[in-house]
Structure 1
């Protein structure tokens, strides 16, 4: 089942992310809870009480959106979970241009199947430190 993430989901989602390649970004539980709270759009997929997927987006709800995370447990990939998470976060607002970073293996192909296209105009200033 895919739904909006709730505040009480913060720790199960954080543990899920840590177990699925994002430990370097979710070490601090309080900071992660704040990150979740400040995300305008979230999606969590829960199967039999266990988090198996998570996505979050940041948007002004009018023109621009950034799809920040899409993570699916390896045993649940290629079953529509990732697609459902992305569709949940980017739903509505046909006037919103959504951008993302697709640097992980297979990410470009996955997002292309959802209508994303490579951009020649995007630039980024990376975070310092971690």
Structure 2
């Protein structure tokens, strides 16, 4: 049984491992950067199969108006079991109904997000980070 937790701390190595196993593109070779990402997150939800980390949702928010879901990653061996949906529901429960939840989707995930309640938006702009 998969357990979603909002109070189990993880470190950069664990985060890198679940990112790599999920195929999400993140700087997994830079543990210092990953630790900074963890340290500065407002919301961190994790999914566990026993002692194995199998999913993570990491978000930044003001808890009043907007929340950016910066990472949603599930181990490829555990995908299509509703874990991503449970992680997103956990974030939504944490921020409440008055806070918009936004994300930037990888091209391979464009079909996934509408299935779990996100609406496509054409009014977003980005300034890209330097490549890693």
Length-normalised TM-score, structure 2: 0.85
Q: How far, CA to CA, are the matches of 1:108 and 1:95 in structure 2?
A: 25
Question: What are the Cα deviations for residues 66-108 of structure 1, in whole angstroms up to 9, with x where unaligned?
Answer: 1111111111111111101111122242111111112232x22
1:27 lines up with 2:29 in the alignment = yes
Partner of 1:75: 77
Classify the secondary structure of the residue corresponding to 1:25. coil
Which of residues 84, 87, 91 is equivalent to 1:85? Answer: 87
Contact conserved, 2:6 with 2:44, CA < 8 A, in 1? yes
The alignment yields a C-alpha RMSD, in angstroms, of 1.8
Q: How far, CA to CA, are the matches of 1:72 and 1:112 in structure 2?
A: 17
Partner of 2:114: 112
Higher alpha-carbon deviation: 75-84 or 29-38: 29-38
Stretches of structure 2 lacking an aligned partner (at least 5 in a row) = none
Partner of 1:100: 103
Shift, 1:24, TM fit = 4.6
Aligned length: 128
The 5-angstrom pairing of residues 113-128 of structure 1 reads 113-128=115-130
Q: How far, CA to CA, are the matches of 1:77 and 1:4 in structure 2?
A: 20
Contact conserved, 2:58 with 2:69, CA < 8 A, in 1? yes
Give the 4+ runs in structure 1 shifted more than 4 A: none
Closer/same/farther in 2, CA of residues 14 and 4 from structure 1, 3 Å limit: farther
Classify the secondary structure of the residue corresponding to 1:86. helix
Q: How far, CA to CA, are the matches of 2:44 and 2:32 in structure 1?
A: 17
Shift, 1:16, TM fit = 2.1
Length-normalised TM-score, structure 1: 0.86
